[in-house]
């Protein structure tokens, strides 16, 4: 059957579809991935193998089973229908392969299978196809291909049984008997339609209540462009393990399905790091209420979700009992359509409810069919496909066999093989120790354990006990005259730096500093800061660096928590921040004259070296105590990788409160190199940074990925040999150009691991997520689950750091320390830091960073606890409640968003809240986005419903702004802000940083403004003048103010050209097109006179203005090629002989670089005193955005737009309709079009 039009006489019945069929039909009709529900059964026969009889037997089976004679109609119908035909005409093709050799036959059969699978069955004409391959007189292979909408796997056994029965009857010459009154599929459809939808809705709503996160196994980069020939992965469990599983199910009085489903749920729980798992299961659907349903061929199967909720302390046997009870509970609701279940769940319906399904195949082939003496089935193979990522088929007869079909674009074969091993391991563990808690069931195999512990991680070597300041002293003794620090044009040698540090140490000791004490440092980031840090270490104390740009309240909190013995800071700092202890000003030279290194106390590697503060969830920062041994170990690890020498210069640009500062300072000073301190403007201004790097011999730059991205866009970094990125997610496009002349490293590590714990050297051609690398020298890394067990390759878990760099813990936080710093279970005597970061192992031993396990957020490299920000928001007297979440900004980078419930119905303003937080938090912790919410939404169990926030939130109010009247410069700057911030709502008085701007975006803004306007701005100017209005005023004040003389006069027009209509919009428009033939002639004229076609039009307008002036004189403002500058063009018609002279004049005007040019937008503010009959016309090529404000100055703007590909030119006239009459402008447009035609005709005639 090939025609889609049906013969009414051939229609036996017409019926509705079941919900499952409707879902499959929708998927088919969508036209996407139609092959996903193509099924194929391959059967090898031996015996008396006659193709003619086999073909006739098939025809008999098709006659008996109505679903094999069914086609589908859905186009232009309200509801689709399935139509049973009397005669189906099913394609049954015979392929004679008997002449081929054995290997050739195998290849031919495989080719037939592949061809049939690729050729998706047509549901309107032939949903079923059969290929009969003759291999010899005693051997054949049958390939049956159909769309799943026709029938399910159970039906295969029925079909094969009937096929062989018919074959035997035909071979004996007997007439085939009629079908013994098979029940019609319509009965099943009617039964489905009679089900109570309300009861189903209530059940599934209860079953999926409070389920919030889809259970999807992370993709494992299968990445195949085409389907491989490998097919599904198959693995048979050893018989002993299969028997044990069946015995456990029997002894606990549960079904084998409950055990197998439970094991899969546990695997998903570990793979997806959740205790609330939902996956798909299939049910046979053959309800006992329908007579003869066991012998019917059709699609009765249904796929429905199974939810398993696991607890680490729950015993295995209790868990499988719980699963079994759930299966019993849902029996009456197994026929609910999946699309309905999805709607009942309240989950995001743009995604499927689950991504993996488990199919328990309990419909074995009748063994008698494999023992028939006439035609035997030697082998059969079923190939199924769905749109799910992973489908686990379990055949549970004569043992247990797994068949795992998977999306090869998402999962690799090796991953599926490992996953099957983990599934088998879980089943074995559950059967061996059913009393064991679920949390103790281990996924990992011994081979994987050995690989991770011993190959991915190296042995720890006890580090040298010398602290870094002692190692620095050795460099100072070796080369005291070598430059150690460069800062602001000043040089400090190793000898001078060591001497200053000694003086500070002596003064600190004189004032009581000793081992175990803390000394706070609150200073500018300069050479004095470096000396202060070394001086504190030499005194025996530990330093507490505090960024002096922090909010006063934050500084006071750190001072209070760290309890410093002394404060190194400017004289007024102690009073400013309420510090009552002793104070030292390190910039003063009048320290105690005795400054002897011999007075330095002995220090142990376990003594504290420094304390760095990071965000804390309670609203107070927490201090990380890093010991001397940790610091020395990291410096040695850094040197082990990068091999710095005295020739190296390290750029220092990080805040002293950031662990990156440690990386920038110590390795280079201990290698005899130079520390080059850049101020903030040096880093943000690319030209200044380039000069600093070249002039100071910088060879190593460590920075955030965003800054690296900006460097990647520029040239001029030839001297740099190493770029180090850390603190945030790195993308390949951020560094691809830098790889030409330098090595680029992606690094990872929390402050609690001193600085970094893993390195990855980036390679050309990398795509996607850049790994964070492998553990560095004397560090270890693991990916663990919640129970502290190793996660296998590719499976997400918490990244845990071990080795010599793991810090002591948190100052004054013993409980927090105990929870985060734990014993290393894989290394005797070792310690681990639980980072809270989520990652997974890659096959080469690198780690891929995936995100956070908790609420913590990384903002521009800094860790932020949302609870910290929420705490401070809720201290505002007008805030009732607040929720802070991570949000992606317009560039895909993480930002903070605050959702605020105002107290007592008050109106809160963004500016007010931002200013409040800026006085209490570091700037990087102040949210970029503020929203008002009526109340904090809650889930059924009382938790904050974060998914609901977006639907109830409105941007927090901003104070009224008078932005209506903007100058041209303001408009230009505002457009640049909008483009860089990707934000429309930009007010003249909004601060750049208040709108989500940051230092990296400021660099982009600087580049954009300079490229488009060339105003000669510096980054410091953008910091100083941080609103559109302030920056515009400053720019305008830098230049000599324009006056109306820049226009060179005004254009006189006839009186009837003018109107007095003050109520008009201020924007009139007339447009006409120059069609292709005329345009070609214009182009020829333009080429002849070496001008642009647009200038031919401009010359026509200049001519018409001269004619209309009554003086034979025109004054036109011509826009230059850069689109920013204009120049007045004077035309005296009396002085020219024709258009060639006009063309020559305009060519001269464009080529000249005289002083008459001006910024046409800047001129909008020029106060002009025009006569009643005077206007200022502006003519330019391209699209000109003329608004009402612009048309106040330039009453007529003529934009000439060429569309060469379309073969036409458009002239768009915008005019101020408050002064100029539309009729006069239309007449001007018509006249210009006429003159253009005359020019073209005169050229043709000539």
Tell me the DSSP string of 528-544. HHHHHHHHHHHHT-EEE
pLDDT of res. 598: 42
pLDDT of res. 958: 78
Higher pLDDT, 609 or 1022: 609
Q: Examine the domain organization and report whether 1054 and 1001 are in the same domain.
A: no
Residues 748, 771: Cα–Cα separation, whole Å = 9
Higher pLDDT, 1170 or 1168: 1170
Return the ∠ at Cα 354 (arms to 353 and 355), rounded to 5°: 140
Q: Is residue 367's pLDDT more than 80?
A: no
User: How confident is the model over 1167-1178, as a mean pLDDT?
Assistant: 90
pLDDT per position as a tens digit, 1176-1229: 999 998 877 788 888 999 999 999 988 654 567 889 999 999 999 999 999 999
Q: Is residue 862's pLDDT more than 80?
A: no
Using an 8 Å Cβ cutoff, are 456 and 774 in contact? yes
Structure tokens at 931: 């929203």
pLDDT of res. 857: 76
pTM of the model: 0.70
pLDDT of res. 437: 96
Return the ∠ at Cα 493 (arms to 487 and 498), rounded to 5°: 105
Q: Examine the domain organization and report whether 42 and 79 are in the same domain.
A: yes
Of 300, 336, 279, whose CA–CA distance to 150 is shortest?
300
- Cβ-based neighbour number of residue 1043 at 10 Å: 11
Last residue of a domain, one of 156, 190, 224: 190
Using an 8 Å Cβ cutoff, are 835 and 800 in contact? yes
Residues 659, 661: Cα–Cα separation, whole Å = 5
Kindly state whether residue 677 falls inside one of the protein's structural domains. Answer: no
End-to-end CA distance of the chain: 70
Q: Examine the domain organization and report whether 1032 and 1048 are in the same domain.
A: no
Using an 8 Å Cβ cutoff, are 147 and 121 in contact? yes
Kindly state whether residue 783 falls inside one of the protein's structural domains. Answer: no
Q: How confident is the model at residue 229 (pLDDT cuts 50, 70, 90)?
A: low
Mean pLDDT taken over the chain: 88
Range among 32-46, 202-216, 533-547, 1078-1092 rated most confident: 533-547
Last residue of a domain, one of 155, 190, 225: 190
Residues 70, 66: Cα–Cα separation, whole Å = 7
Kindly state whether residue 1088 falls inside one of the protein's structural domains. Answer: yes
Q: Examine the domain organization and report whether 17 and 101 are in the same domain.
A: yes
Residues 841, 414: Cα–Cα separation, whole Å = 14
Q: Is residue 1065's pLDDT more than 90?
A: no
Q: Is residue 1063's pLDDT more than 50?
A: yes
pLDDT of res. 945: 82
Backbone angles phi, psi at 433, to 5 degrees: -135, 75
Backbone angles phi, psi at 417, to 5 degrees: -65, -45
DSSP calls for 959-989: -----SS--HHHHHHHHHHHHHHT-S---TT
CATH number at residue 79: 3.30.559.10
Q: How confident is the model at residue 350 (pLDDT cuts 50, 70, 90)?
A: low
Return the ∠ at Cα 1192 (arms to 1188 and 1194), rounded to 5°: 105
Residues 276, 290: Cα–Cα separation, whole Å = 36
Q: Is residue 2's pLDDT more than 50?
A: no
pLDDT of res. 1040: 56
DSSP calls for 611-641: EEEE--TTSS-EEEEEEHHHHHHHHHHHHHH
Q: Examine the domain organization and report whether 430 and 502 are in the same domain.
A: no
pLDDT of res. 592: 46
Kindly state whether residue 554 falls inside one of the protein's structural domains. Answer: yes
CATH number at residue 917: 3.30.300.30
Q: Examine the domain organization and report whether 1005 and 1079 are in the same domain.
A: no
Q: Examine the domain organization and report whether 1089 and 1187 are in the same domain.
A: yes
Least reliable range by pLDDT among 41-55, 479-493, 1161-1175: 1161-1175
User: How confident is the model over 517-533, as a mean pLDDT?
Assistant: 95
Q: How confident is the model at residue 297 (pLDDT cuts 50, 70, 90)?
A: very high
Least reliable range by pLDDT among 148-152, 628-632, 1145-1149: 1145-1149
The structural domain count of the chain equals 6
Q: Is residue 568's pLDDT more than 90?
A: yes
Of 848, 794, 799, whose CA–CA distance to 419 is shortest?
794
Structure tokens at 50: 């006659």
Q: Examine the domain organization and report whether 283 and 403 are in the same domain.
A: yes
Residues 833, 806: Cα–Cα separation, whole Å = 7
Residues 628, 610: Cα–Cα separation, whole Å = 8
pLDDT per position as a tens digit, 747-785: 999 999 999 999 999 999 888 889 999 999 999 999 999
CATH number at residue 1054: 3.30.559.30
Q: State the residue range of the domain holding 95.
A: 8-190
User: How confident is the model over 266-289, as a mean pLDDT?
Assistant: 91
Q: Is residue 994's pLDDT more than 60?
A: yes
Last residue of a domain, one of 148, 170, 190: 190
Kindly state whether residue 764 falls inside one of the protein's structural domains. Answer: no
CB within 8 Å of 1226: residues ≥ 6 apart: 1070
Q: Examine the domain organization and report whether 64 and 174 are in the same domain.
A: yes
Least reliable range by pLDDT among 70-74, 137-141, 872-876, 1074-1078: 1074-1078
Q: Examine the domain organization and report whether 179 and 214 are in the same domain.
A: no
Kindly state whether residue 73 falls inside one of the protein's structural domains. Answer: yes
Angle between helices 527-539 and 468-478 (to 10 degrees): 120
User: How confident is the model over 984-1003, as a mean pLDDT?
Assistant: 79
Q: Examine the domain organization and report whether 1099 and 1120 are in the same domain.
A: yes
Q: In what order do the strands lie in the sheet with 758-761?
A: 490-493, 483-487, 674-677, 649-652, 700-703, 722-725, 743-748, 758-761, 774-775
Residues 428, 237: Cα–Cα separation, whole Å = 10
Kindly state whether residue 1201 falls inside one of the protein's structural domains. Answer: yes
User: How confident is the model over 473-478, as a mean pLDDT?
Assistant: 96
Kindly state whether residue 928 falls inside one of the protein's structural domains. Answer: yes
Q: Is residue 264's pLDDT more than 90?
A: yes
CATH number at residue 558: 3.40.50.980
Q: Examine the domain organization and report whether 994 and 1061 are in the same domain.
A: no
């Amino acid at each position: 059957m090939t025609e889609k039009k049906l013969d009414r006489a051939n229609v036996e019945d017409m019926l509705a579809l079941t919900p499952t069929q409707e879902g499959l039909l929708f998927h088919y009709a969508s036209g996407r991935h139609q092959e996903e529900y193509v099924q194929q059964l391959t059967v090898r026969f031996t015996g008396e193998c006659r193709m003619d009889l086999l073909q006739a037997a098939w025809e008999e089976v098709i006659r008996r089973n109505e679903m094999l004679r069914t086609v589908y109609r859905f186009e232009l119908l309200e509801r689709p229908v399935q139509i049973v035909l009397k005669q189906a005409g099913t394609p049954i093709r015979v392929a004679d392969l008997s002449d081929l050799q054995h290997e050739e036959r195998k290849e031919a059969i495989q080719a037939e299978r592949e061809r049939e699978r690729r050729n998706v069955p047509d549901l309107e004409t032939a949903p079923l196809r059969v290929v009969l391959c003759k291999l010899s007189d005693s051997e054949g292979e049958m390939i049956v291909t159909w769309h799943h909408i026709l029938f399910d796997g159970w039906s295969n056994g029925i079909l094969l049984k009937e096929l062989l029965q018919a074959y035997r009857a035909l071979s004996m010459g007997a007439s085939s008997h009629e079908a013994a009154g098979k029940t019609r599929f319509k009965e099943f459809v009617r039964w489905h339609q009679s089900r109570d939808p309300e009861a189903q809705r209530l059940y599934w709503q209860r079953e999926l209540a409070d389920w919030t996160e889809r259970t999807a196994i992370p993709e494992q980069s299968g990445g195949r462009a085409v389907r491989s020939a490998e097919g599904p992965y198959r693995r048979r469990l050893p018989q002993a393990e299969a028997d044990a599983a069946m015995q456990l199910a029997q002894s606990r009085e549960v079904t084998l399905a409950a055990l197998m489903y439970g094991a899969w749920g546990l695997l998903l729980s570990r793979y997806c790091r959740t205790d609330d798992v939902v996956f798909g299961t299939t049910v046979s659907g053959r309800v006992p209420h329908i007579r003869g349903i066991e012998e019917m061929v059709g699609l009765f199967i249904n796929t429905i979700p199974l939810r398993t909720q696991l607890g680490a302390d729950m015993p295995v046997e209790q868990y499988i009992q719980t699963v079994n009870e759930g299966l019993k509970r849902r029996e009456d609701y197994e026929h609910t359509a999946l699309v309905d279940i999805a709607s009942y769940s309240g989950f995001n319906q743009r995604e499927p409810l689950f991504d993996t399904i488990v199919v328990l195949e309990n419909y074995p082939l009748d063994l008698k069919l494999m023992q028939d003496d006439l035609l035997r089935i030697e082998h059969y193979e079923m190939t199924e496909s769905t749109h799910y990522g992973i489908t686990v088929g379990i055949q549970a007869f004569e043992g247990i066999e797994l068949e795992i079909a998977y999306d090869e674009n998402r999962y690799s074969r090796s991953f599926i093989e490992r996953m099957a091993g983990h599934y088998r391991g879980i089943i074995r563990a559950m059967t061996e120790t059913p009393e064991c808690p679920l949390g103790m069931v281990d996924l990992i195999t011994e081979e994987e354990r050995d690989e991770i512990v011993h190959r991915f991680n190296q042995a720890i070597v006890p580090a040298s006990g010398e602290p870094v300041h002692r190692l620095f002293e050795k460099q100072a003794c070796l080369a005291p005259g070598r430059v150690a620090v460069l800062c602001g044009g000043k040089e400090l040698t190793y000898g001078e730096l060591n001497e200053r540090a000694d003086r500070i140490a002596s003064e600190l000791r004189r004032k009581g500093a000793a081992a175990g004490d803390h000394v706070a440092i609150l200073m500018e980031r300069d050479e004095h800061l470096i000396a202060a840090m070394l001086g504190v270490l030499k005194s025996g104390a530990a330093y507490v660096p505090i960024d002096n740009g922090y909010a006063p309240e934050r500084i006071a909190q750190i001072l209070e928590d760290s309890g410093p013995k002394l404060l190194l800071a400017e004289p007024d700092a102690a009073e400013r921040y309420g510090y009552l202890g002793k104070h030292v000003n390190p910039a003063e030279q009048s320290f105690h004259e005795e400054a002897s290194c011999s007075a330095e106390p002995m220090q142990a590697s376990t003594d504290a070296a420094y304390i760095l503060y990071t965000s804390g969830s309670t609203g107070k920062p927490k201090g990380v105590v890093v010991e001397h041994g940790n610091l020395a170990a990291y410096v040695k690890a850094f040197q082990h990788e990068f091999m710095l020498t005295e020739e190296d210069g390290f750029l220092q640009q990080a805040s002293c409160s950031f662990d990156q500062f440690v990386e920038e300072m110590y390795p280079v000073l201990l290698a005899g190199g130079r520390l080059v301190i850049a101020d903030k403007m040096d880093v943000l201004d690319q030209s200044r940074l380039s000069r600093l790097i070249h002039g100071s011999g910088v060879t190593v730059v460590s920075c955030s990925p965003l800054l690296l991205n900006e460097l990647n866009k520029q040239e001029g970094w030839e001297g740099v040999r190493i770029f180090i990125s850390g603190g945030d997610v790195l993308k390949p496009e951020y560094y691809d150009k830098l790889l030409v002349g330098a090595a680029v490293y992606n690094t990872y590590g929390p402050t609690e691991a001193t600085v970094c714990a893993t390195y990855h050297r980036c390679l050309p051609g990398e795509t996607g997520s850049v790994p964070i690398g492998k553990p560095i020298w004397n560090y270890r890394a693991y990916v663990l689950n919640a129970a502290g067990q190793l996660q296998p390759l590719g499976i997400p878990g918490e990244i845990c750091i071990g080795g010599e760099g793991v810090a002591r813990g948190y100052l004054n936080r013993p409980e927090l320390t105990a929870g985060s710093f734990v014993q290393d279970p894989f290394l005797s005597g070792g310690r681990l830091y639980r980072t809270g970061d989520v990652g997974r192992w890659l096959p080469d031993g690198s780690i891929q960073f995936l995100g956070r396990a908790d609420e913590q957020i990384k903002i521009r490299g800094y860790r932020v606890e949302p609870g910290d920000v929420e705490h401070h928001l809720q201290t505002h007297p007008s805030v009732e409640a607040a929720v802070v979440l991570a949000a992606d900004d317009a560039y895909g980078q993480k930002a903070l968003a605050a959702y605020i419930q105002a107290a007592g119905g008050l109106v809160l303003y963004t500016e007010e809240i931002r200013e409040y937080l800026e006085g209490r938090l570091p700037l990087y912790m102040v949210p970029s986005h503020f929203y008002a919410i009526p109340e904090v939404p809650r889930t059924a169990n009382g938790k904050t419903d974060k998914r609901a926030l977006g639907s109830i939130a409105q941007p927090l109010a901003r104070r009224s702004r008078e932005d209506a009247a903007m100058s041209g410069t303001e408009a230009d700057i505002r457009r640049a802000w909008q483009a860089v911030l990707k934000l429309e709502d930009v007010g003249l008085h909004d601060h750049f940083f208040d709108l989500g701007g940051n230092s990296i975006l400021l660099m982009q803004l600087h580049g954009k403004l300079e490229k488009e306007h060339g105003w000669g701005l510096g980054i410091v100017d953008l910091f100083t003048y941080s609103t559109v209005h302030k920056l515009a005023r400053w720019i305008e004040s830098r230049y000599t103010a324009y006056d109306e003389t820049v226009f060179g006069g005004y254009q006189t027009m006839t009186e009837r050209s003018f109107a007095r209509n003050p109520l008009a919009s201020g924007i009139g428009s007339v447009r006409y097109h120059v069609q292709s033939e005329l345009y070609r002639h214009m182009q020829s004229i333009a080429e002849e006179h070496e001008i642009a076609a647009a200038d031919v039009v401009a010359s026509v307008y200049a001519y018409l203005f001269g004619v209309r002036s009554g003086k034979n004189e025109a004054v036109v403002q011509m826009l230059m090629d850069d689109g920013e500058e204009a120049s007045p063009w004077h035309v005296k018609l009396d002085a020219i002989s024709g258009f060639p002279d006009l063309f020559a004049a305009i060519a001269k005007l464009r080529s000249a670089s005289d002083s008459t040019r001006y910024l046409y937008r800047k001129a909008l503010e020029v106060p002009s005193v025009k006569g009643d009959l005077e206007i200022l016309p502006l003519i330019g090529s391209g699209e000109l955005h003329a608004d009402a404000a612009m048309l106040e100055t330039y009453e007529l703007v003529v934009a000439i737009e060429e569309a060469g590909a379309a073969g036409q030119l458009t002239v768009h006239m915008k005019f101020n309709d408050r002064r100029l009459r539309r009729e006069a402008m239309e007449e001007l447009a018509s006249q210009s079009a006429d003159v253009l035609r005359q020019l073209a005709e005169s050229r043709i005639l000539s």
